Amino acid sequence: MNSTELPRMMTVREIAKTGLLPENTIRVMLRNGQIQAVYSGKKALINFDNLCEYLRTLKVSS
């Protein structure tokens, strides 16, 4: 990201609407400290690009 680009900050519900993850999964990840958010009142704003990158780096255990 260059210095003039703003991060894509999205709410839990907005991310869930993309089909990336269900709302409940995102909330559990927030509660467990797996992902970070900026809070405005009770609303969590998550950097969508960082979340996608985090998910790409996860390894599936078998």
d(CA 5, CA 26): 25
Tell me the per-residue pLDDT of 12-56, one tens digit each, with 9 for 90 and over: 999 999 999 999 999 999 999 999 999 999 999 999 999 999 999
In a domain, 4, yes or no: no
Q: What's the structural domain count of the chain?
A: 1
pLDDT level of residue 9 (50, 70, 90 thresholds): very high
Q: In what order do the strands lie in the sheet with 9-11?
A: 9-11, 43-47, 38-40
Number of helices (H) and strands (E) in the chain: give both, helices first: 3, 3
pTM above 0.95, yes or no: no
Domain membership flag for residue 22: yes
User: Residue 41: inside a domain, yes or no?
Assistant: yes
Beta bridge partners, 43, equal 40
Element (H, E) at 10: strand 9-11
- 41 conformational bin, left if phi > 0, alpha if psi -120 to 50, beta if neither: left
